[in-house]
Copies of this chain bind each other. A is one copy, B any other.
Amino acid sequence: MSGWLKVIGLGPGNEALITPEAQAALDAATDAVGYIPYVARLENRPGLVKHASDNRVEIERARHALEMAAAGRRVAVVSSGDPGVFAMAAAIFEALEEGPEDWRALDLEVLPGITAMLAASALIGAPLGHDFCAINLSDNLKPWALIEKRLRLAVEADFAMAFYNPRSKSRPEGFVRTLEILRDACGDSRPVIFARAVTTPEEEIRVVPLTEARPDMADMRTMVIVGSSQTRIITREGAPLVYTPRSA
């Protein structure tokens, strides 16, 4: 029996958003590898060994997964959302490229999942309904100047914008600066969506005008979506709907 490695997206939290393809791979795995809270989402069963690790050790985790697959294990590397969007897939390929040549012959697949921005977008309407960009606001691995440049160009392009990892306890100043840049560059009161822990019991969503968005409205479990200049709000009883028209 030969090993494999599948990089699997678990979706944003709701089990009904895990694809049958992903579920079948999880059911066939001998080992599950990932960040502690994601591995904790998997059911315990005989024959499945869980390897949970802390944040910020993605490359070590990727190497471990590749080593186990090379040794004949059936390894599921799990990410929240989609593994190809600010998650484990890129780390796996970084480790693969730097690793032993024979890793390139491994049976390796990426199985897509529902990424947080699209789950959040669906819950509030269709704010990413036309051209948009996705930016990781963490400056752990790239210079802050690059993030700032992308923010300004994204506004100039009039993209709707989805921000992952907006704010950590250790680096709260980045999101403060992000909101300042957006207010400066946009100069309007376009809607900002703060969508926290979407599709889980802790889900919280609110929509505020950019002029009223505050840094403490986001934490690391929050997805932030900023409309383009054309994004519209439909008021109704209860939560409003936010969408970006197809002509935007």
Interface string of A189-208 (1 = CB under 8 A from B): 00000000000000000000
Segment with Cβ contacts to B, from A27-35, A39-47, A63-71, A124-132 = A124-132
Q: Is A11 part of the contact surface with B, judged by Cβ < 8 Å?
A: yes
With A20-B20, A121-B84, A125-B110 known as contacts, the answer to whether A133 contacts B133 (CB < 8 A) is yes
Minimum CB–CB distance for A126 against chain B, Å:
4
Q: Chain B residues near A15 (CB, 8 Å)?
A: 20
Cβ A96 vs Cβ B241 within 8 A: yes
User: Which single residue of chain B is at the shortest CB-CB distance from A151?
Assistant: B157
Query: With A and B bound together, what is the CA distance between A129 and B112 in angstroms?
Result: 12
Cβ A118 vs Cβ B121 within 8 A: no
Q: How many copies does the complex hold?
A: 2
Instruction: Tell me the dominant secondary structure on chain A's binding face.
Output: mixed
Minimum CB–CB distance for A136 against chain B, Å:
6
Segment with Cβ contacts to B, from A85-93, A168-176, A177-185, A216-224 = A85-93
Minimum CB–CB distance for A194 against chain B, Å:
18
Query: With A and B bound together, what is the CA distance between A17 and B22 in angstroms?
Result: 8
Interface string of A125-154 (1 = CB under 8 A from B): 110111111111000011000100110011
Interface size band for A = 35 or more
Q: Chain B residues near A105 (CB, 8 Å)?
A: 236-237
User: Which single residue of chain B is at the shortest CB-CB distance from A233?
Assistant: B97
Q: Chain B residues near A129 (CB, 8 Å)?
A: 84-86, 89-90, 93
Cβ A119 vs Cβ B112 within 8 A: yes
Cβ A126 vs Cβ B104 within 8 A: no
Q: Is A94 part of the contact surface with B, judged by Cβ < 8 Å?
A: yes
Cβ A245 vs Cβ B90 within 8 A: yes
Minimum CB–CB distance for A166 against chain B, Å:
14
Cβ A246 vs Cβ B112 within 8 A: no
Partner of A142, one of B20, B159, B248: B248
Q: Chain B residues near A128 (CB, 8 Å)?
A: 84-85, 134
User: Given A86-B130, A132-B133, A133-B159, 4 other A-B contacts at CB below 8 A?
Assistant: A16-B21, A89-B122, A89-B243, A112-B118
